[in-house]
Amino acid sequence: MKITKNVNKKKTKEADWIFLHPYVYVSIKQNHAILYNTLNGELLEYQGNNPVLKLIRRLNAETGLYVTKLYKQQYDKNIERFINQIRKHYMGDCLNTSLRPNTPFQMKPMLNLQKTLDFLITDQSSSRILVNDEIQDYLEVITLHINSRCNQTCTQCDSAYKQYFCCKKNNENPHEIEFDAIEKLTEEIKNSSLRKIRITGGNLLFYTELQKLIRHLDQIPVIKEFLINYLNIEDKPWFFEFLSKELSQLIIIIHFPIKIRKLESCLKILSQYHLKMFLLIVIEDDAQIKKIEDILTRLNIESFDFVPHYNGENLSFFKNSIFLTRQSIIATKPSMKNIFARKTINTGDFQKLTVLSNGDIYANLNHPKIGKLNSTSVFDIIFQELHRGKSWTKVRTRIKPCKSCAFNGLCPPISNYEYVLGKYNLCNIM
Ligand code: SF4
Ligand code: SF4
Protein backbone atom coordinates (compact mmCIF):
# COMPACT_ATOMS: atom_id res chain seq x y z
CA MET A 1 0.00 0.00 0.00
CA LYS A 2 2.75 2.38 1.02
CA ILE A 3 4.84 1.49 -2.06
CA THR A 4 1.96 2.22 -4.53
CA LYS A 5 1.46 5.64 -2.97
CA ASN A 6 5.13 6.52 -3.53
CA VAL A 7 5.02 5.41 -7.19
CA ASN A 8 1.95 7.64 -7.87
CA LYS A 9 3.60 10.57 -6.17
CA LYS A 10 6.70 10.12 -8.35
CA LYS A 11 4.54 9.81 -11.47
CA THR A 12 2.65 13.00 -10.51
CA LYS A 13 5.85 14.96 -10.29
CA GLU A 14 7.44 13.69 -13.48
CA ALA A 15 7.05 16.25 -16.24
CA ASP A 16 8.41 17.54 -19.54
CA TRP A 17 9.02 21.00 -20.87
CA ILE A 18 7.16 21.21 -24.19
CA PHE A 19 8.46 23.99 -26.36
CA LEU A 20 8.15 25.47 -29.85
CA HIS A 21 11.02 26.91 -31.81
CA PRO A 22 11.04 30.71 -32.20
CA TYR A 23 10.66 30.54 -36.00
CA VAL A 24 7.24 28.87 -35.65
CA TYR A 25 4.19 31.07 -36.17
CA VAL A 26 1.15 30.11 -34.11
CA SER A 27 -2.36 31.34 -34.78
CA ILE A 28 -5.48 30.26 -32.90
CA LYS A 29 -9.03 31.32 -33.72
CA GLN A 30 -11.92 29.73 -31.87
CA ASN A 31 -11.13 26.01 -31.89
CA HIS A 32 -8.77 26.08 -34.85
CA ALA A 33 -5.02 26.32 -34.43
CA ILE A 34 -2.24 26.41 -36.99
CA LEU A 35 1.47 26.03 -36.48
CA TYR A 36 3.53 27.22 -39.42
CA ASN A 37 7.26 26.67 -39.79
CA THR A 38 8.57 29.92 -41.34
CA LEU A 39 11.82 28.21 -42.33
CA ASN A 40 10.53 25.29 -44.37
CA GLY A 41 6.92 26.38 -45.05
CA GLU A 42 5.33 23.35 -43.36
CA LEU A 43 1.94 23.64 -41.70
CA LEU A 44 0.21 21.72 -38.90
CA GLU A 45 -3.49 22.22 -38.22
CA TYR A 46 -5.58 21.25 -35.19
CA GLN A 47 -9.34 21.53 -34.73
CA GLY A 48 -11.70 21.05 -31.80
CA ASN A 49 -11.75 21.92 -28.14
CA ASN A 50 -9.45 19.12 -26.98
CA PRO A 51 -6.28 18.72 -24.86
CA VAL A 52 -4.00 19.36 -27.87
CA LEU A 53 -5.63 22.74 -28.54
CA LYS A 54 -5.43 23.58 -24.85
CA LEU A 55 -1.73 22.73 -24.91
CA ILE A 56 -1.17 24.96 -27.99
CA ARG A 57 -3.02 27.79 -26.20
CA ARG A 58 -0.69 27.41 -23.22
CA LEU A 59 2.38 27.39 -25.49
CA ASN A 60 1.14 30.52 -27.22
CA ALA A 61 0.13 32.40 -24.05
CA GLU A 62 1.56 35.91 -23.81
CA THR A 63 3.78 35.02 -20.84
CA GLY A 64 4.52 31.47 -21.94
CA LEU A 65 7.46 32.23 -24.19
CA TYR A 66 6.48 29.19 -26.31
CA VAL A 67 7.22 26.85 -23.36
CA THR A 68 4.95 24.98 -20.98
CA LYS A 69 5.30 22.19 -18.43
CA LEU A 70 3.31 19.01 -19.01
CA TYR A 71 2.98 16.34 -16.29
CA LYS A 72 3.20 12.72 -17.37
CA GLN A 73 -0.36 11.99 -16.29
CA GLN A 74 -1.60 14.71 -18.68
CA TYR A 75 -0.28 12.74 -21.67
CA ASP A 76 -2.69 10.89 -23.92
CA LYS A 77 -2.51 9.49 -27.44
CA ASN A 78 -3.31 12.84 -29.05
CA ILE A 79 -0.73 14.76 -27.04
CA GLU A 80 1.89 12.15 -27.92
CA ARG A 81 0.98 12.44 -31.60
CA PHE A 82 1.22 16.25 -31.34
CA ILE A 83 4.69 16.03 -29.81
CA ASN A 84 5.81 13.58 -32.49
CA GLN A 85 4.48 15.93 -35.18
CA ILE A 86 6.20 19.07 -33.89
CA ARG A 87 9.43 17.08 -33.66
CA LYS A 88 9.07 15.58 -37.12
CA HIS A 89 8.41 18.98 -38.70
CA TYR A 90 11.17 20.74 -36.72
CA MET A 91 8.65 22.97 -34.95
CA GLY A 92 9.34 22.01 -31.36
CA ASP A 93 10.47 19.39 -28.89
CA CYS A 94 10.18 18.19 -25.30
CA LEU A 95 12.70 17.93 -22.52
CA ASN A 96 12.38 16.11 -19.21
CA THR A 97 12.31 18.58 -16.32
CA SER A 98 14.80 16.43 -14.41
CA LEU A 99 17.38 17.37 -17.07
CA ARG A 100 16.45 21.05 -16.97
CA PRO A 101 14.69 22.10 -13.73
CA ASN A 102 14.38 25.80 -14.76
CA THR A 103 12.15 26.92 -17.62
CA PRO A 104 14.14 26.78 -20.88
CA PHE A 105 14.52 30.27 -22.26
CA GLN A 106 12.65 30.74 -25.52
CA MET A 107 12.33 33.86 -27.71
CA LYS A 108 8.69 33.90 -28.75
CA PRO A 109 8.38 35.97 -31.96
CA MET A 110 7.00 39.43 -31.25
CA LEU A 111 5.74 42.19 -33.44
CA ASN A 112 8.60 44.65 -33.67
CA LEU A 113 7.55 47.37 -36.03
CA GLN A 114 9.53 50.37 -36.98
CA LYS A 115 8.75 52.73 -34.09
CA THR A 116 7.36 55.53 -36.19
CA LEU A 117 5.04 53.33 -38.17
CA ASP A 118 3.60 51.82 -35.01
CA PHE A 119 3.15 55.27 -33.56
CA LEU A 120 1.58 56.71 -36.70
CA ILE A 121 -0.96 53.96 -36.99
CA THR A 122 -1.94 53.76 -33.36
CA ASP A 123 -1.51 57.22 -31.82
CA GLN A 124 -3.97 59.70 -33.30
CA SER A 125 -2.84 62.67 -31.22
CA SER A 126 0.88 62.38 -31.90
CA SER A 127 2.89 65.32 -33.08
CA ARG A 128 3.89 65.52 -36.71
CA ILE A 129 7.34 66.85 -35.80
CA LEU A 130 8.38 63.50 -34.40
CA VAL A 131 7.97 61.73 -37.72
CA ASN A 132 9.12 64.41 -40.16
CA ASP A 133 12.48 62.75 -40.62
CA GLU A 134 11.03 59.37 -41.49
CA ILE A 135 7.99 60.27 -43.57
CA GLN A 136 10.09 60.28 -46.74
CA ASP A 137 10.75 56.56 -46.28
CA TYR A 138 7.09 55.81 -46.87
CA LEU A 139 7.07 56.36 -50.61
CA GLU A 140 8.41 53.66 -52.93
CA VAL A 141 6.26 53.61 -56.06
CA ILE A 142 4.31 56.37 -57.78
CA THR A 143 1.99 55.72 -60.73
CA LEU A 144 1.11 58.57 -63.08
CA HIS A 145 -1.77 58.41 -65.56
CA ILE A 146 -0.25 61.26 -67.55
CA ASN A 147 -3.26 61.68 -69.87
CA SER A 148 -6.69 60.20 -70.50
CA ARG A 149 -7.08 60.41 -74.28
CA CYS A 150 -7.24 57.13 -76.21
CA ASN A 151 -8.86 56.03 -79.48
CA GLN A 152 -9.47 52.39 -78.51
CA THR A 153 -12.76 50.99 -77.28
CA CYS A 154 -11.80 48.22 -74.85
CA THR A 155 -14.82 46.97 -72.91
CA GLN A 156 -12.63 46.53 -69.81
CA CYS A 157 -11.53 50.19 -69.76
CA ASP A 158 -13.81 51.45 -66.98
CA SER A 159 -13.04 48.64 -64.57
CA ALA A 160 -9.56 47.29 -65.39
CA TYR A 161 -7.52 50.12 -63.80
CA LYS A 162 -9.18 49.43 -60.44
CA GLN A 163 -8.18 45.76 -60.57
CA TYR A 164 -4.57 45.87 -61.88
CA PHE A 165 -2.08 48.27 -63.43
CA CYS A 166 -3.81 49.34 -66.66
CA CYS A 167 -4.48 52.42 -68.76
CA LYS A 168 -7.81 54.27 -68.48
CA LYS A 169 -9.36 56.69 -70.94
CA ASN A 170 -11.77 59.57 -70.50
CA ASN A 171 -12.36 61.16 -73.91
CA GLU A 172 -15.48 63.06 -72.79
CA ASN A 173 -13.52 65.03 -70.21
CA PRO A 174 -9.86 64.58 -71.20
CA HIS A 175 -7.04 65.68 -68.91
CA GLU A 176 -3.26 65.71 -68.90
CA ILE A 177 -0.95 66.12 -65.94
CA GLU A 178 0.99 69.21 -66.92
CA PHE A 179 4.71 68.66 -67.34
CA ASP A 180 5.42 71.42 -64.78
CA ALA A 181 3.34 69.55 -62.20
CA ILE A 182 5.34 66.35 -62.80
CA GLU A 183 8.59 68.31 -62.52
CA LYS A 184 7.44 69.85 -59.23
CA LEU A 185 6.34 66.48 -57.91
CA THR A 186 9.62 64.74 -58.74
CA GLU A 187 11.52 67.63 -57.13
CA GLU A 188 9.46 67.25 -53.94
CA ILE A 189 10.06 63.50 -53.68
CA LYS A 190 13.68 63.43 -54.82
CA ASN A 191 14.96 62.55 -51.32
CA SER A 192 12.33 59.91 -50.65
CA SER A 193 12.78 56.13 -50.87
CA LEU A 194 11.19 56.16 -54.33
CA ARG A 195 12.41 53.23 -56.40
CA LYS A 196 9.91 53.15 -59.27
CA ILE A 197 7.84 55.56 -61.38
CA ARG A 198 5.07 53.92 -63.41
CA ILE A 199 3.68 55.82 -66.38
CA THR A 200 0.52 55.15 -68.34
CA GLY A 201 -2.45 57.00 -69.92
CA GLY A 202 -4.95 56.89 -71.84
CA ASN A 203 -2.61 56.42 -74.71
CA LEU A 204 0.60 57.80 -73.28
CA LEU A 205 1.96 58.39 -76.80
CA PHE A 206 -0.65 61.20 -77.10
CA TYR A 207 0.92 63.11 -74.19
CA THR A 208 1.68 66.64 -75.44
CA GLU A 209 5.12 66.95 -73.88
CA LEU A 210 6.24 63.33 -74.05
CA GLN A 211 9.75 64.13 -75.33
CA LYS A 212 10.28 66.67 -72.56
CA LEU A 213 8.94 64.22 -69.99
CA ILE A 214 11.25 61.45 -71.25
CA ARG A 215 14.29 63.74 -71.00
CA HIS A 216 13.27 64.70 -67.48
CA LEU A 217 12.69 61.11 -66.34
CA ASP A 218 16.08 60.18 -67.76
CA GLN A 219 17.65 62.31 -65.01
CA ILE A 220 15.92 60.40 -62.21
CA PRO A 221 17.81 57.29 -61.06
CA VAL A 222 14.82 55.05 -60.38
CA ILE A 223 13.07 52.35 -62.44
CA LYS A 224 10.74 53.84 -65.05
CA GLU A 225 7.96 51.47 -66.10
CA PHE A 226 5.70 52.41 -69.02
CA LEU A 227 2.43 50.62 -69.71
CA ILE A 228 0.74 50.80 -73.10
CA ASN A 229 -1.93 48.76 -74.81
CA TYR A 230 -0.62 46.82 -77.84
CA LEU A 231 -3.33 48.48 -79.97
CA ASN A 232 -1.68 51.85 -79.33
CA ILE A 233 1.87 50.85 -80.30
CA GLU A 234 3.34 52.82 -83.19
CA ASP A 235 6.95 53.18 -84.20
CA LYS A 236 8.47 56.12 -82.29
CA PRO A 237 12.24 55.50 -82.36
CA TRP A 238 13.16 58.24 -79.83
CA PHE A 239 10.66 56.78 -77.34
CA PHE A 240 11.73 53.15 -77.68
CA GLU A 241 15.39 54.11 -77.70
CA PHE A 242 14.84 55.77 -74.32
CA LEU A 243 13.08 52.61 -73.17
CA SER A 244 16.17 50.58 -74.14
CA LYS A 245 18.07 52.28 -71.32
CA GLU A 246 19.03 50.34 -68.23
CA LEU A 247 16.42 51.61 -65.76
CA SER A 248 13.48 51.59 -68.14
CA GLN A 249 10.99 48.87 -68.93
CA LEU A 250 7.88 48.46 -71.01
CA ILE A 251 4.67 46.61 -70.19
CA ILE A 252 2.47 45.76 -73.15
CA ILE A 253 -1.06 44.98 -72.10
CA ILE A 254 -3.12 42.64 -74.31
CA HIS A 255 -6.79 41.81 -73.97
CA PHE A 256 -9.51 39.96 -75.83
CA PRO A 257 -10.66 40.09 -78.54
CA ILE A 258 -7.07 39.92 -79.80
CA LYS A 259 -6.33 41.48 -83.18
CA ILE A 260 -3.64 39.10 -84.38
CA ARG A 261 -2.35 41.26 -87.24
CA LYS A 262 -2.04 44.26 -84.95
CA LEU A 263 -0.28 42.17 -82.30
CA GLU A 264 2.15 40.85 -84.92
CA SER A 265 2.93 44.35 -86.19
CA CYS A 266 3.34 45.63 -82.61
CA LEU A 267 5.85 42.85 -81.83
CA LYS A 268 7.67 43.52 -85.11
CA ILE A 269 8.10 47.20 -84.23
CA LEU A 270 9.31 46.40 -80.73
CA SER A 271 11.74 43.72 -81.93
CA GLN A 272 13.88 46.46 -83.52
CA TYR A 273 14.84 47.72 -80.07
CA HIS A 274 16.65 46.16 -77.14
CA LEU A 275 13.82 46.59 -74.69
CA LYS A 276 13.21 45.15 -71.29
CA MET A 277 9.68 44.19 -72.18
CA PHE A 278 6.92 42.30 -70.46
CA LEU A 279 3.56 41.13 -71.88
CA LEU A 280 0.55 41.24 -69.60
CA ILE A 281 -2.37 39.24 -70.98
CA VAL A 282 -5.81 39.98 -69.58
CA ILE A 283 -8.00 36.89 -69.25
CA GLU A 284 -11.59 36.43 -68.20
CA ASP A 285 -12.15 32.68 -68.54
CA ASP A 286 -10.52 29.35 -69.34
CA ALA A 287 -11.50 29.51 -73.02
CA GLN A 288 -9.41 32.68 -73.40
CA ILE A 289 -6.41 30.94 -71.82
CA LYS A 290 -6.71 28.14 -74.36
CA LYS A 291 -6.98 30.61 -77.25
CA ILE A 292 -4.08 32.77 -76.15
CA GLU A 293 -1.85 29.73 -75.64
CA ASP A 294 -2.30 28.88 -79.32
CA ILE A 295 -1.54 32.47 -80.34
CA LEU A 296 1.55 32.64 -78.12
CA THR A 297 2.89 29.41 -79.60
CA ARG A 298 2.24 30.65 -83.13
CA LEU A 299 3.99 33.97 -82.45
CA ASN A 300 6.78 32.29 -80.51
CA ILE A 301 6.19 34.36 -77.36
CA GLU A 302 7.66 32.84 -74.24
CA SER A 303 7.75 35.63 -71.70
CA PHE A 304 4.34 36.80 -70.50
CA ASP A 305 2.03 36.83 -67.53
CA PHE A 306 -1.73 36.43 -67.20
CA VAL A 307 -3.79 38.95 -65.30
CA PRO A 308 -7.37 37.95 -64.44
CA HIS A 309 -10.15 40.44 -65.10
CA TYR A 310 -13.43 40.38 -63.18
CA ASN A 311 -16.24 41.30 -65.56
CA GLY A 312 -19.16 40.84 -63.19
CA GLU A 313 -20.10 37.46 -64.65
CA ASN A 314 -17.01 35.28 -64.27
CA LEU A 315 -17.05 34.53 -60.54
CA SER A 316 -16.79 30.79 -61.22
CA PHE A 317 -13.55 31.38 -63.18
CA PHE A 318 -12.21 33.32 -60.19
CA LYS A 319 -13.32 30.56 -57.83
CA ASN A 320 -11.45 27.93 -59.83
CA SER A 321 -8.30 29.83 -60.63
CA ILE A 322 -7.85 32.74 -58.24
CA PHE A 323 -9.32 31.71 -54.91
CA LEU A 324 -6.74 30.92 -52.25
CA THR A 325 -6.27 27.36 -51.04
CA ARG A 326 -4.17 26.07 -48.16
CA GLN A 327 -1.55 25.00 -50.71
CA SER A 328 -1.45 28.35 -52.51
CA ILE A 329 -1.16 30.27 -49.22
CA ILE A 330 1.72 28.12 -48.02
CA ALA A 331 3.38 27.97 -51.45
CA THR A 332 4.46 31.61 -51.07
CA LYS A 333 6.37 30.61 -47.90
CA PRO A 334 5.77 33.84 -45.96
CA SER A 335 8.58 34.63 -43.54
CA MET A 336 8.00 35.77 -39.95
CA LYS A 337 8.75 39.32 -41.11
CA ASN A 338 6.15 39.01 -43.92
CA ILE A 339 3.56 37.70 -41.47
CA PHE A 340 4.00 40.50 -38.96
CA ALA A 341 4.04 43.11 -41.73
CA ARG A 342 0.79 41.68 -43.18
CA LYS A 343 -0.88 41.98 -39.79
CA THR A 344 -0.16 45.70 -39.60
CA ILE A 345 -0.03 47.13 -43.11
CA ASN A 346 -1.47 46.23 -46.50
CA THR A 347 1.82 45.26 -48.12
CA GLY A 348 0.17 45.40 -51.57
CA ASP A 349 -0.71 49.10 -51.26
CA PHE A 350 1.80 50.34 -48.70
CA GLN A 351 4.21 53.06 -49.93
CA LYS A 352 2.39 53.36 -53.25
CA LEU A 353 0.47 56.33 -54.65
CA THR A 354 -1.42 56.80 -57.92
CA VAL A 355 -2.09 60.13 -59.62
CA LEU A 356 -4.86 60.22 -62.24
CA SER A 357 -4.70 62.57 -65.22
CA ASN A 358 -6.95 65.12 -63.45
CA GLY A 359 -4.45 65.34 -60.56
CA ASP A 360 -6.45 63.29 -58.05
CA ILE A 361 -4.18 61.24 -55.80
CA TYR A 362 -5.07 57.80 -54.42
CA ALA A 363 -3.53 55.27 -52.04
CA ASN A 364 -5.79 52.71 -53.74
CA LEU A 365 -8.03 53.46 -56.70
CA ASN A 366 -10.91 51.60 -55.04
CA HIS A 367 -10.97 54.08 -52.17
CA PRO A 368 -11.72 57.82 -52.12
CA LYS A 369 -9.00 60.20 -53.33
CA ILE A 370 -6.62 61.44 -50.65
CA GLY A 371 -5.25 64.59 -52.23
CA LYS A 372 -4.75 66.74 -55.29
CA LEU A 373 -1.53 67.27 -57.21
CA ASN A 374 -0.18 70.82 -56.85
CA SER A 375 -2.44 71.68 -53.94
CA THR A 376 -1.34 69.18 -51.28
CA SER A 377 2.19 68.17 -50.29
CA VAL A 378 2.83 64.51 -51.08
CA PHE A 379 4.28 64.00 -47.62
CA ASP A 380 1.19 65.50 -45.96
CA ILE A 381 -0.85 63.02 -47.99
CA ILE A 382 1.36 60.15 -46.82
CA PHE A 383 1.10 61.29 -43.21
CA GLN A 384 -2.69 61.40 -43.42
CA GLU A 385 -2.84 57.99 -45.13
CA LEU A 386 -0.74 56.42 -42.39
CA HIS A 387 -2.65 58.20 -39.68
CA ARG A 388 -6.26 57.69 -40.73
CA GLY A 389 -6.22 56.33 -44.27
CA LYS A 390 -8.37 53.53 -45.67
CA SER A 391 -5.84 51.66 -47.82
CA TRP A 392 -2.32 51.26 -46.47
CA THR A 393 -3.45 50.01 -43.07
CA LYS A 394 -6.36 47.85 -44.21
CA VAL A 395 -5.41 44.33 -43.15
CA ARG A 396 -7.15 40.99 -42.72
CA THR A 397 -6.78 40.98 -38.94
CA ARG A 398 -9.27 43.90 -38.80
CA ILE A 399 -11.93 42.89 -41.33
CA LYS A 400 -14.69 40.29 -41.36
CA PRO A 401 -14.58 37.36 -41.91
CA CYS A 402 -10.77 37.18 -42.07
CA LYS A 403 -10.25 38.47 -38.53
CA SER A 404 -11.78 35.25 -37.21
CA CYS A 405 -9.62 33.03 -39.43
CA ALA A 406 -6.41 31.39 -38.20
CA PHE A 407 -4.83 31.95 -41.64
CA ASN A 408 -5.13 35.76 -41.55
CA GLY A 409 -1.40 36.31 -40.96
CA LEU A 410 -0.38 33.93 -43.73
CA CYS A 411 -2.75 35.11 -46.46
CA PRO A 412 -1.57 37.68 -49.01
CA PRO A 413 -2.75 41.26 -48.43
CA ILE A 414 -6.32 42.28 -49.33
CA SER A 415 -6.29 42.72 -53.10
CA ASN A 416 -8.09 45.01 -55.54
CA TYR A 417 -10.18 42.03 -56.66
CA GLU A 418 -11.58 41.78 -53.15
CA TYR A 419 -12.53 45.47 -53.16
CA VAL A 420 -14.13 45.11 -56.60
CA LEU A 421 -16.03 41.93 -55.69
CA GLY A 422 -16.99 43.35 -52.27
CA LYS A 423 -15.87 40.10 -50.66
CA TYR A 424 -12.78 39.72 -48.48
CA ASN A 425 -12.44 35.97 -48.40
CA LEU A 426 -11.56 34.94 -51.94
CA CYS A 427 -10.56 31.55 -50.62
CA ASN A 428 -11.97 28.08 -50.11
CA ILE A 429 -11.11 28.09 -46.42
CA MET A 430 -13.85 30.26 -44.83
S1 SF4 B 1 -6.23 51.05 -74.56
FE2 SF4 B 1 -6.38 51.45 -72.38
S3 SF4 B 1 -7.15 53.51 -72.21
FE4 SF4 B 1 -7.53 52.85 -74.27
S5 SF4 B 1 -9.60 52.03 -74.23
FE6 SF4 B 1 -8.22 50.31 -73.92
S7 SF4 B 1 -8.04 50.14 -71.69
FE8 SF4 B 1 -8.90 52.15 -72.14
S1 SF4 C 1 -8.81 35.08 -47.21
FE2 SF4 C 1 -9.54 35.49 -45.13
S3 SF4 C 1 -10.96 33.86 -44.66
FE4 SF4 C 1 -9.76 33.19 -46.44
S5 SF4 C 1 -8.04 32.04 -45.59
FE6 SF4 C 1 -7.36 34.15 -45.80
S7 SF4 C 1 -7.77 35.09 -43.82
FE8 SF4 C 1 -8.97 33.20 -43.94
| Measured distance CA(336)–CA(116) in Å, rounded | 20
| Measured distance CA(48)–CA(33) in Å, rounded | 9
Structure confidence at residue 373 as a pLDDT band (50, 70, 90): very high
Could you tell me the distance, in angstroms and rounded to a whole number, from the CA of residue 310 to the centre of ligand 2?
19
- Ligand 1 lined by 265 (C-beta under 6 Å): no
Q: Coil, strand, or helix at residue 2?
A: helix
- Ligand 2 lined by 405 (C-beta under 6 Å): yes
Could you tell me the distance, in angstroms and rounded to a whole number, from the CA of residue 159 to the centre of ligand 1?
11
- Ligand 1 lined by 150 (C-beta under 6 Å): yes
Crossing angle of helices 378-388 and 115-122, in 10° steps, is 70
Question: Whose atoms come closest to the Cα of 322: which ligand?
Answer: 2
Residue 130 has pLDDT above 60, yes or no: no
Structure confidence at residue 430 as a pLDDT band (50, 70, 90): confident
Could you tell me the distance, in angstroms and rounded to a whole number, from the CA of residue 305 to the centre of ligand 1?
19
Residue 126 has pLDDT above 70, yes or no: no
3-state DSSP: the chain helix, strand, coil percent, rounded to 5?
Answer: 35, 20, 45
pLDDT at 128: 62
CB 361 within 8 A of CB 97: no
At 211-231, the pLDDT tens digits run: 999 999 999 999 999 999 999
Structure confidence at residue 49 as a pLDDT band (50, 70, 90): confident
Please tell me the residue having the least CA distance from ligand 1 atom 6.
Answer: 154
pLDDT at 4: 45
Cα-Cα end-to-end distance for the chain: 56
Could you please report the per-residue DSSP string of 281-308? EEE-SHHHHHHHHHHHHHTT---EEEEE
pLDDT at 354: 98
Question: Whose atoms come closest to the Cα of 150: which ligand?
Answer: 1
pLDDT at 3: 43
Structure confidence at residue 7 as a pLDDT band (50, 70, 90): very low
- Select the more confidently predicted residue: 92 or 13: 92
- Ligand 2 lined by 408 (C-beta under 6 Å): yes
Please tell me the residue having the least CA distance from ligand 2 atom 2.
Answer: 402
pLDDT at 134: 81
- Select the more confidently predicted residue: 108 or 414: 414
- Ligand 2 lined by 427 (C-beta under 6 Å): yes
- Ligand 2 lined by 401 (C-beta under 6 Å): yes
User: Residue 351 contacts by C-beta under 8 Å, 6 or more apart in sequence?
Assistant: 138, 139, 140, 141, 193, 392
pLDDT at 64: 65
Please tell me the residue having the least CA distance from ligand 1 atom 2.
Answer: 167
Least confident range from 96-100, 114-118, 219-223, 323-327: namely 114-118
Least confident range from 9-23, 33-47, 337-351: namely 9-23
Rounded average pLDDT over 284-304: 92
User: Residue 424 contacts by C-beta under 8 Å, 6 or more apart in sequence?
Assistant: 396, 399, 400, 401, 402, 414, 418
Residue 270 has pLDDT above 60, yes or no: yes
Could you tell me the distance, in angstroms and rounded to a whole number, from the CA of residue 149 to the centre of ligand 1?
9
pLDDT at 406: 97
- Ligand 1 lined by 426 (C-beta under 6 Å): no
CB 198 within 8 A of CB 142: yes
**pLDDT, averaged across the chain:** 91
Structure confidence at residue 116 as a pLDDT band (50, 70, 90): low
Crossing angle of helices 210-218 and 179-188, in 10° steps, is 20
- Ligand 1 lined by 202 (C-beta under 6 Å): yes
- Ligand 1 lined by 148 (C-beta under 6 Å): no
Question: Whose atoms come closest to the Cα of 27: which ligand?
Answer: 2
Residue 297 has pLDDT above 50, yes or no: yes
- Ligand 2 lined by 429 (C-beta under 6 Å): yes
Q: What amino acid is encoded at 282 in this protein?
A: V
Residue % of the chain over a pLDDT of 90: 82
Picking from 14, 13, 54, 6, the residue whose alpha carbon sits closest to that of residue 33 is 54
Ligand 1 atom with the shortest distance to the CA of 169: 3
| Measured distance CA(364)–CA(343) in Å, rounded | 18
**CA quadruple 162, 166, 167, 168: dihedral, nearest 10:** -20
Question: Whose atoms come closest to the Cα of 157: which ligand?
Answer: 1
Structure confidence at residue 123 as a pLDDT band (50, 70, 90): low
pLDDT at 266: 96
At 160-217, the pLDDT tens digits run: 999 999 999 999 999 999 999 999 999 999 999 999 999 999 999 999 999 999 999 9
Residue % of the chain over a pLDDT of 70: 91
Ligand 1 atom with the shortest distance to the CA of 150: 4
- Ligand 1 lined by 103 (C-beta under 6 Å): no
- Ligand 2 lined by 407 (C-beta under 6 Å): yes
- Ligand 1 lined by 365 (C-beta under 6 Å): no
Could you tell me the distance, in angstroms and rounded to a whole number, from the CA of residue 396 to the centre of ligand 2?
8
Could you tell me the distance, in angstroms and rounded to a whole number, from the CA of residue 411 to the centre of ligand 2?
6
